[in-house]
Structure 1
Amino acid sequence: MKKAKQYTGMFLAAAGIAAAVSCSGIKNTALRAQLEKSNCNQQNVYTYTVADMPRPIHEIIIDTALLSKFSFKSLNMAHAIGVLDDLGRYADAQKKYRMQPSAESRLHLLELSQKIANRINISSLEVSAVSSEMDCEEERASQIANYLSGKQDALESKLTVGAIVVGATGAISTGALLNSGNSGDYIGVGTGVAEATLGLLILLNKSGTEFHHKRNALKEIWKGQATSSIFPPSVWYYLNYKNPAQQGAGSLRELLIEKWISFGQVAHNPSKKQLKKTQLYFGNGGKYSAGQLNNRADMYDQLESNINLMKQDLKGLFTELEQLHY
C-alpha cells in the first residue's frame, strides 16, 4: 500500500508541476519591453482645434467651373488637404490664359499647378506616416499573440505527452500489482486523477499577458471626437466625412466600427463581460489573451486599409489636375 501511495503522489506531483508551468508568464526581456511601451510613434502628436478642421464640403459654395472640371471625390480631397481655393485660382488662371495666352500667365499656371502637386505629395507622405504607425501597432500585437500561441501549443504538447505517459505507466503498474491486494486500485485512482488533471490543464491552457497602449488609435476611432491627437486634420476629416446626398451612407469611421460590431470583434451594447473587453481594446491596456491580441491586430489592419484609401483619392485629384490642358 505504501508503494501504491508513492505512485499516486508521484502522479499528482507531476500534475502540480505542469500546472505551475502553465501559469508562467513572459520573461523574455525584449518582449517585455514591447508589452510595456510602443515605439511605433515617432513623436507625431497633433494639436489642433475644431476651427483648424476643414468644414464639410457640402456646407461651402464651390465654383461652378471646378464642378465641371473635377469629380466630387477630387474636390472633397482638395478641400481636405487645403488646396480647394488654389484649384479655383487655377481654373481662373487657365481661363485667362486661353483668352489671352502669354508667357507670364503660363508661368502663373505652372506655379499654381506645382503648388497643388506639392501639397498632394505632402499629404501622401502624411498618410504614409499614419499608415506606418497603424501597421507597426498591428505587428506589435500580432508578434506578442504569436509568441503566446507558441507557448500554449508547446505546453499543450507536453501535457498531452504527460497524459499519455501517465496513462501508460498506470496501466502497466496496475497490471503488475493485480495480485497485490488493493495496490492496483490505488494506482488506478492515482492515474485517473493525474490524467484528469492534465486533461483539465489542456482545456485551461489559455495564458495571457499584460499589454499596454497609452497611445491608442482604436480609441479615437471608437469615440469619434471632433479632433484627434494621432491623425492629422486632413486624415481625420477624410475618415469622418459623411455625404448627406448619399442616404444611409456613413463615414469611413462609422463603417469601420459597424464592421467591428457585425463581425463580433467588439460589442455595441455590451454586457458586463463584453464591456470589460471593449474597455480593454479602447483603454490604456490590460491583460490580453492571444486571441484578443490577434483581434486587436486585425482591427489595426482594417484601420490601416481605410486610411490608405485616401491615397486613391489623392491620386485621382492629381490625375484630374494633370488632364487639364492649357
Structure 2
Amino acid sequence: MMKKTLSGFFYIIIGASQFLSCRNANIISHLKLNVSSQYCAPTIAYTYNPEFIPYSNTDSILVNSKTLLGKLSEHDVLMANATGTLSLINKLLESKKDTTINGRLNRLEISNKIQNHLHLLTTEISGIAAELDCEGERADLFAGYLDDLNDKKTARLTGASIVIAALATVAAVMVNNHGLQNGITISGGIISAGLAVLTIKPHGKKMSYTHERNVLEDIWFAPEKSAIYPPFIWYMLKEKKFSNSKQEPLVQTVKNRWNKFELDKDIDSTTINVLFKNGGIYDADKLHTRATMLNQLQSTIRSINQDMQSLISELNNLNADK
C-alpha cells in the first residue's frame, strides 16, 4: 500500500514538473469567436466633396475674415472653415444686402445648403464614434474571453497546489526513512510553491488579433492627411485652437493621455506595431488597454458636437438678423 502511495505521488510530482516546464501559451485566433477583422469598418468607402474641404492655413483665414469676425467669434470662424462652409457663410452675409424677393430666395438657398452640410457632418461624427465604440466593445469581448480562460487556469493551478501539498504531507507521514521523508516534503513543497507562483502571474492564453483598418493608427502617427477620419474631423483634431489649452492639438493631447495613463511612457516597437498598426499577438492586458484608448478617443470625437452646437447657434442668430 505504501509503495503504491509513493509511486502515485512521484507520478504526480513528475506530471506537475512537466506542467511547470511547459512555457507555450496557447494562442487563439480571433476568428475562433466568429468576429472578422473588418467587423466594425464601414461597408463602403466614403468620398468627400472637395468644395467643403477646410483650408489648412488658420492664421491666413483669420486675417482674411475680419468682416465675419464682427459677426462670429474666432472659434466659430474656424469652425466654419473646419466644416467647409466659410465661403457659404460669407455669401450669406452678402446676400442680406439684397432685400428683394430674389435676394431672399438666394439667402434661403444658401442657408439650406449650409444646414444640410452641417447635418451631414453630424452623421460623420456619429459614424466615427460608432466605429470606435464597436472596436472598443470588440476589444473588451476578446479581453473578457481571455480573462475567463485564464481565471479557469488559475483555479486549476490552485487546486493542484493544494492536492500536491496534501499528498506530500500524507506520503511523508507514511514513510519511515527520515531522508526519504525530507525528500518527499521538499519536492512537494517546491512543486506546490511553483504552482502557487503561477497563480500570481499565470502564463495565460493570448490571442492573434489583426486589424487592417486601425482607428488608433493615425492618432499615434499624426499624418498630414488621414485615410480613416473625414477631413472635417481630422482638421479639428490637428488644429490646436480647438483644444482647451490652445497650445497643442487634440490629437497630441489624446496621445499624451495614452502615454501617461495607459502606456506608462514605456512602449517598445513591438507594442507599437500591435496597438497602432496591423495588430498581432495580444494578451488580456493589451486588449484592455486597447479598449480603454478607444473609449477615450470616442469621447474626444463626440466632444466635437459641442463645437458644432456653437456654430449652428451662431448661424441661427446671424440668419435671424435683419
Same fold, judged at TM 0.5 (above): yes
* 1:216 and 1:284 in contact (8 A); partners too: yes
- How far did residue 14 of structure 1 move? 4.1
> Structure 2 vs 1, CA of residues 193 and 8 (structure 1 numbering), >3 Å: closer, same or farther?
farther
Letter in 2 for 1:106: R
> Structure 2 vs 1, CA of residues 124 and 84 (structure 1 numbering), >3 Å: closer, same or farther?
same
Matching residue of 1:149: 147
Pick one of 85, 102, 105 that aligns with 1:83: 85
Matching residue of 1:64: 66
Number of residue pairs matched by the alignment:
315
Unpaired runs of at least 5, structure 2: none
Q: How does 1:12-31 map to 2 (within 5 A)?
A: 12-14=14-16, 16-17=18-19, 23-26=25-28, 30-31=32-33
* 1:45 and 1:230 in contact (8 A); partners too: no
- How far did residue 125 of structure 1 move? 0.4
Pick one of 227, 246, 253 that aligns with 2:225: 227
Distance 2:245 2:21 in 1: 57
> Structure 2 vs 1, CA of residues 248 and 308 (structure 1 numbering), >3 Å: closer, same or farther?
closer
Distance 2:11 2:305 in 1: 66
Deviations 1:18-42 (CA, angstroms, capped at 9, x unpaired)? 77698334378542x43x6131112
Matching residue of 1:305: 299
Letter in 1 for 2:156: K
**Does residue 187 of structure 2 align to residue 199 of structure 1?**
no
- How far did residue 311 of structure 1 move? 1.3
Distance 1:168 1:126 in 2: 63
Task: With the length of structure 1 as denominator, give the TM-score of the two structures.
Answer: 0.84
Matching residue of 2:107: 109
Matching residue of 2:208: 210
Unpaired runs of at least 5, structure 1: none
SS of 2:98's equivalent in the other structure is helix
- How far did residue 44 of structure 1 move? 4.8
Letter in 1 for 2:181: G
> Structure 2 vs 1, CA of residues 175 and 27 (structure 1 numbering), >3 Å: closer, same or farther?
farther
Matching residue of 1:94: 96
RMSD: 3.1
* 1:216 and 1:283 in contact (8 A); partners too: yes
Distance 1:107 1:47 in 2: 30
> Structure 2 vs 1, CA of residues 310 and 117 (structure 1 numbering), >3 Å: closer, same or farther?
same
Distance 1:305 1:19 in 2: 45
SS of 1:220's equivalent in the other structure is helix
Matching residue of 2:38: 38
Distance 1:286 1:142 in 2: 16
Letter in 2 for 1:280: V
Distance 2:105 2:54 in 1: 32
Letter in 1 for 2:152: A
- How far did residue 229 of structure 1 move? 1.2
* 2:168 and 2:188 in contact (8 A); partners too: yes
**Does residue 167 of structure 2 align to residue 165 of structure 1?**
no
* 2:206 and 2:284 in contact (8 A); partners too: yes
Distance 1:21 1:260 in 2: 31
Matching residue of 2:290: 296
Identity of aligned residues (%): 29
Task: With the length of structure 2 as denominator, give the TM-score of the two structures.
Answer: 0.85
> Structure 2 vs 1, CA of residues 59 and 46 (structure 1 numbering), >3 Å: closer, same or farther?
farther
Matching residue of 2:182: 185
Q: Which has the higher contact order (CA 8 A, sep 6+)?
A: 1
* 2:30 and 2:207 in contact (8 A); partners too: no
> Structure 2 vs 1, CA of residues 146 and 117 (structure 1 numbering), >3 Å: closer, same or farther?
same
SS of 2:282's equivalent in the other structure is strand
Pick one of 6, 9, 12 that aligns with 2:11: 9
